[in-house]
Structure 1
């Protein structure tokens, strides 16, 4: 048989009651408390949900605090001028070498062919591709 009694006995009618659990409203965390909780979550191998449970928070709240802390840190870094440490190394003494005599180089024009077609000059150096040279000559003839 069920434990539910549907009779209209006035002594057995349901009554409304409220449960008050704590002071109610939002909790306010100090900046130092938030910083301490955020620092705990930044430790290596820290699990954010465990840290949040330890303080009676939801993980979403901790993530929001971390995001806000990153934004504040970025704005502080951008607003203030920063200096980079300068490192000055001693100049190395130049090695004293006796000047080498330069070898005589072959003249620059050795092995070069120069063509002039209708006032347009073309120089072909040693090792030039024959197909390319032939194509350039044809192009020069076509323009003249």
Structure 2
């Protein structure tokens, strides 16, 4: 392989003297410079339904963190819509009571006033509860 100019040659060691061995490495090395259009294509591919960012990154010789960074930058410039989490999907809750089982007990309410604990259910009247709390406080 012939080299057209000195800019294509990198020698390790002192510049004066002869070289006994010269190795030429072909292919990309160091940082890869990608055009804006190329980044946009890779980001678009990573956003396709079912696409895995790590696979897209591997396919294009990038890292998944680069793709996440490109997405963020495109969003900041308004070139992508804001990231919206998909709404969670829930399975319906089915509660069945076994035959002969008693109904669930009423929800209990516990109020601690110092070393006194009042326990009642949530159906208690608010005014009645206030009177009980005032009575407990006054007795202390």
Common fold, TM-score beyond 0.5? no
Please give the range of the TM-score, normalised by the shorter of the 2 chains: 0.3 to 0.5
Q: TM-score normalised to the size of structure 2?
A: 0.37
Which structure is higher in helix share?
A: 1
Q: TM-score, normalised by structure 1?
A: 0.36
Return the index of the structure with the highest Cα Rg. 1
